[in-house]
Amino acid sequence: MQLTVVEYEKKGAIAYVTLNRPDKLNAMNTAMHEELGSVWADFRDDPHLRVAILSGRGRCFSAGADLSPSGGAQSGEYRYTGEFTDITQTQGLYKPIIAALHSHVVGYGMWIAMDSDIRIATEDTTFWLPEPQWGIATIPCAWFPRIMPWAIASELLLQAERVTAQRAYQVGMINKIVADDQLMAEAKKAANRICELSPMAVQGMKESMVRASALDYAAVDAITADVQTRVMTSEDRKEGIKAFADRRPVDWPGK
């Protein structure tokens, strides 16, 4: 896999995915969008990887979409075709993603940050969706109310207000605030904890959350039955019970 604006490193069961356009404040261009898609597909399909840490190199996590002509932006008339419904490129990915966020988390950068499962931010981090200032109805307006309180989604989407790290933590947008020099250490700590757990159980629970988030109760029941059957009859489940009975560390098969 040849990458130019995204770094992708595998260390044991952890994948490190880094936005790497520091000279452009990690603004999302066409190349970064496509490379993220390739990286997430590889992460999904690699049986040795259990969790990913997503971060941004340089002065900020991401300043949003690259609106310059070279970034792939277009001016003039626009007609949404549904082509970018999976704007974060993570559809069907049920392995956990931890976002390590710092400084500016703007626009497109905020979309992929909020699409992660665990979000850790530094004290100076701010979140901002400025699109209404430019006459843009941003794609996350459809799904942000599912992942945060309605009032907070409205504050971001309808007022284009910046949200500080402290406020983001208070309203449940992020999990933790840490000092700058502790950001990656905290992300690795969370990743290592996930690696201690059953891969089948972790991925099954994320799958249940993702697939059931927009469905009615009957559909949720069907998804739950499917995932529970798969996990409860897995080799992970058998090993977990045996390790508990033998009073020994668990050696997860991951299947």
Pair 203, 187 in one domain = no
Task: Please state the pTM of the whole predicted model.
Answer: 0.86
Predicted local confidence at residue 16, as pLDDT: 98
Instruction: Report, as ranges of residue numbers, the positions in the chain whose pLDDT lies below 50.
Output: 71-84
Q: What is the pLDDT of residue 228?
A: 72
Is the domain of 146 the same as that of 88?
yes
- Give the pLDDT of residue 52: 98
Say whether both 137 and 170 belong to one domain: yes
Q: Which residues pair with 15 in a beta bridge?
A: 10, 52
Q: What is the CATH number of the domain that holds 161?
A: 3.90.226.10
Residue 252 lies in a domain: no
pLDDT of residue 76: 35
* 151 and 223 co-located in one domain: no
Sign for the pseudo-dihedral over CA of 101, 106, 109, 112: positive
Same domain, yes or no: 35 and 142: yes
Considering the domain architecture, whether residues 111 and 175 belong to the same structural domain is answered as yes
pLDDT tens-place string over residues 124-133: 999 999 888 8
Residues 168 and 60 in one domain: yes
Which residues constitute the domain of residue 228?
198-246
Q: Are residues 205 and 164 in the same domain?
A: no
Instruction: Specify whether 181 is located in the same domain as 221.
Output: no
Spell 58-78 as b/e; 16+ CB within 10 A means b. Answer: bebbbbbbbbeeebbeeeeee
Q: Looking at the domain assignment, is residue 255 inside a domain?
A: no
Q: How is residue 178 written in tokens? A: 């840490």
Strands 51-56 and 6-11: unpaired
pLDDT, tens digit, for every residue of 36-87? Answer: 999 999 999 999 999 999 999 999 999 988 877 654 444 333 333 444 456 6
Enumerate the β-bridge partners of residue 188. Answer: none
Same domain, 145 and 186: yes
Domain shared by 242 and 205, yes or no: yes
- 3-state DSSP assignment of residue 135: coil
In the chain, the number of structural domains is: 2
pLDDT of residue 226: 73
